[in-house]
């Protein structure tokens, strides 16, 4: 496995005002009219991030799986300084530099990317999955553990049941039951993927647990990278 150092770009936003302006500019580039590749084909990659705020260190992981077997094909991690303060709705600015560095360190194309977070299900309709999709050009999906500020009716108890995740009358994602009788996950489109297909990918990636294998494995790997990080020296 490769571990690299994540660098904060010189032009990275330093203020909330500037970060929101960047979101506004990039949001117009999100592609919502492509279905995306079918689940269970090619490769799919999970990304996740862990923090040590006391040391001002962030670790990101990218784990590539064979979409049919869910076997690990490749892994990479990146460690660096935290690139932005904690501000709800602007978390992508804390995570993107490290995630991009981990993706760049992979030895193979990642295929669609599954983020532990949000895409369209975001107050400004531009969460981490959308941000990452626009910057990489890859199909992306957000799969979150909670509904953020949005509302939903509890889906049916059977695996595969769904219900709309709503901002008023607007469907910004779906609650998806990945295990019978277990709390749903919250799926939203990031970039170049339909919501129906994003939900199908999520179910295909979660045959045994509530969270997709992409998220489970990336979460474990970034936490391991953070524990062993010697950055900063």
Output the DSSP codes for 42-75. SEEEEEEEEEETTTTEEEEEEEEEETTT--EEEE
**Sign of the torsion angle spanned by Cα atoms 99, 104, 106, 110:** positive
Q: Cα dist. 144→148, 184, 229 in Å? A: 9, 9, 26
Mean pLDDT of 23-37: 96
Q: Parallel, antiparallel, or unpaired for β 140-144 and 113-115? A: parallel
The residues with which 105 forms a beta bridge, in sequence order, are: none
**pLDDT tens profile 66-123:** 999 999 999 999 999 999 999 999 999 999 999 999 999 999 999 999 999 999 999 9
140-144 and 57-66 strand pairing: unpaired
In order of their start, the domains of the chain are: 2-228 (3.30.2170.10)
**CB neighbours of residue 208 within 10 Å:** 9
**Which ranges of 65-144 would DSSP assign to H, the alpha helix?**
92-104, 128-136
C-beta of residue 131 within 8 angstroms of C-beta of residue 26? yes
17 Cβ neighbours under 8 A, 6+ residues apart: none
pLDDT of residue 229: 85
196 belongs to an annotated ligand binding site: no
Banded model confidence at residue 232, pLDDT cuts 50, 70, 90: low
Element (H, E) at 221: helix 213-228
Average pLDDT rounded to a whole number, residues 199-206:
98
pLDDT at 230: 77
* pLDDT tens-digit map of 142-179: 999 999 999 999 999 999 999 999 999 999 999 999 99
Beta-bridge mates of residue 170: 167
Biggest CA–CA distance in the chain, Å, is 51
Residue 231 has pLDDT above 80, yes or no: no
- What tokens appear for 184 in the block? 């749903």
Q: Is 53 annotated as a binding residue?
A: no
């Amino acid at each position: 496995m490769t571990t690299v150092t994540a660098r904060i770009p010189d032009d990275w936003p330093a203020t909330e005002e500037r970060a929101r302006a960047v979101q506004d500019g990039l949001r117009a580039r999100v592609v919502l009219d492509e279905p995306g590749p079918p689940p269970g084909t090619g490769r799919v990659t999970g990304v996740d991030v862990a923090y040590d705020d006391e040391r001002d260190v962030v670790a990101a992981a990218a784990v590539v799986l064979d979409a049919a077997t869910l076997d690990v094909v490749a892994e990479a991690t990146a460690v660096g300084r935290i690139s932005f303060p904690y501000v709800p709705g602007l978390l992508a600015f804390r995570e993107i530099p490290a995630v991009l560095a981990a993706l760049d360190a992979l030895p193979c194309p990642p295929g669609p990317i599954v983020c532990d977070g949000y895409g369209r299900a975001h107050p400004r309709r531009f969460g981490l999955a959308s941000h990452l999709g626009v910057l990489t050009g890859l199909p992306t999906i957000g799969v979150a553990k909670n509904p953020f500020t949005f509302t939903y009716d509890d889906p049916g108890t059977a695996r595969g049941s769904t219900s709309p995740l709503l901002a008023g009358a607007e469907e910004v994602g779906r609650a998806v039951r990945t295990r019978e009788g277990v709390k749903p996950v919250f799926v939203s489109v990031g970039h170049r993927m339909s919501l129906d297909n994003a939900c199908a990918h999520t179910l295909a990636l979660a045959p045994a647990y509530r969270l997709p294998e992409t998220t489970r494995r990336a979460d474990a790997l970034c936490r391991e990278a953070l524990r062993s990080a010697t950055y900063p020296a």
